[in-house]
Amino acid sequence: MHPFSHPSCADAHGSAAGLAPSPRRVYAEAMKPSAPAGAAIEIRGLGVRRGRRAVIEHLDLLVQAGRVTGLLGPSGCGKSTLMRTVVGAQAGVSGSVRVLGEPAGSRGLRRRVAYATQAASVYDDLTVRQNLRAFASAVGAPRDDPERVVALVGLESEASRRVDALSGGQRNRVSLAAALLGSPELLVLDEPTVGLDPVLRAELWELFHRLADGGTTLLVSSHVMDEALRCDDLLLMREGRILTHTTPGALMRHTGTEDPESAFLAVIAADAEGPARPDGEGRTP
Ligand SMILES: Nc1ncnc2c1ncn2[C@@H]1O[C@H](COP(=O)(O)OP(=O)(O)OP(=O)(O)O)[C@@H](O)[C@H]1O
């Protein structure tokens, strides 16, 4: 994996065959995102145990290639665990997790997948440029790639500064820049916009979409529900489950709410209405 490193079907809700669809089924069908061909991440029957706890159980998920998929949910719901699983860095995993057509964590994915963790993994006693040169060499990125990625994350004026002299948000952007080295096909970014002001946050989301337009797949976590509106596809997660896999537009339309926070609450309420039916009418494509 890249040094950073590169280091669902959600619930089923439906009516019995031959009967008019229930409101819950209509809701579930409407919440399905558009499904362009090609899944970058395919997860079947995932379970993850951390210590004695089952943190994720029976999770199925397809993440479409070339899109920005947001993974949103409250603190402790399992976002980081799911991301670590996708990059092959999580122990205690059962089920099938395939990434770009290969088992998660395979050697063949080393340079194709990049992961930026919540805590910036950079050398404090090196400058931004020195950090990026070191990581570029580790992943076999082109020689001029450090300058390219520094510009992408808007850190040109800090490139000669030591990382320990940077703010928390700037350090995180160094980490993000490192993940961009070598132009990986899948970027897994754990809360990349934490600690950033609104302008920088908006710029980073623009960057994510530019990368996706160029064919990169991005899985981006956040616990700030407002960021949901910036994603192409949305995964709303709670207590180790994907409650729904949708798009921002469909989420707002079908919950009839005016803000993502209320929409999330509406999804939780709908989920609590009844048990899922194992009839394949899931919300995930
Ligand atoms: N090392 C660990 N050992 C045992 N349980 C853990 C460990 N790390 C996390 N957990 C538990 O796993 C669950 C999921 O944690 P995870 O870090 O994946 O959540 P998260 O949604 O990313 O949270 P946050 O937004 O706060 O980062 C939590 O209940 C947490 O307590």
Q: Cα(172)–Cα(118) distance, rounded to whole angstroms?
A: 8
Q: Which of 69, 64, 106, 72 is nearest to 89 (CA)?
A: 106
The pair phi, psi for residue 100, each rounded to 5°, is 50, 35
Assess contact for 81 and 55: CB atoms under 8 A. Answer: yes
Task: Tell me the two tokens of residue 210.
Answer: 């530019």
For atom 10 of ligand 1, the residue with the nearest CA is 50
SS (H, E, C) the chain: CCCCCCCCCCCECCCCCCCCCCHHHHHHHHCCCCCCCCEEEEEEEEEEEECCEEEEEEEEEEEECCCEEEEECCCCCCHHHHHHHHCCCCCCEEEEEEECCEECCCHHHCCCEEEECCCCCCCCCCEHHHHHHHHHHHHCCCCCHHHHHHHHCCCHHHCCCEHHHCCHHHHHHHHHHHHHCCCCCEEEECCCCCCCCHHHHHHHHHHHHHHHHCCCEEEEEECCHHHHHHCCEEEEEECCEEEEEECHHHHHHHHCCCCHHHHHHHHHHHHHCCCCCCCCCECCC
Banded pLDDT at 274 (limits 50, 70, 90) = low
Inter-residue contact 163 to 124 (CB < 8 Å)? yes
**pLDDT confidence of residue 42:** 97
pLDDT higher than 80, residue 169: yes
- Average pLDDT over the chain reads 84
- Report the share of the chain in percent with pLDDT over 70: 83
Region 188-202: what's the mean pLDDT?
A: 89
Contact 30, 282 (CB under 8 A): no
Top-level class of domain 23-272 = alpha beta
The domains of the chain are located at: 23-272
How far is the CA of 10 from the CAs of 67, 103, 265, 269, 276, in angstroms?
A: 19, 21, 17, 15, 9
- The model's pLDDT over 231-252, given as tens digits with 9 standing for 90+, comes to 999 999 999 999 999 999 999 9
Give the number of the atom of ligand 1 that is nearest the alpha carbon of residue 84: 18
Write the residue with the smallest CA distance to atom 5 of ligand 1. Answer: 50
Tokens 């337009």 -> residue: 213
Mutation pick for ligand 1 pocket among 50, 57, 190, 222 (CB with most ligand atoms within 8 Å): 50
ipTM: 0.96
Residue 261 CA, ligand 1 centroid: distance in Å:
22
What's the gap in Å between 50 CA and the centre of ligand 1?
8
Note the pLDDT tens digit of each residue in 175-186: 999 999 999 999
> How many angstroms does the Cα of residue 160 sit away from the middle of ligand 1?
35
- Amino acid at site 45: G
pLDDT tens per residue, range 2-55: 544 443 333 222 223 333 334 343 344 444 444 345 899 999 999 999 999 999
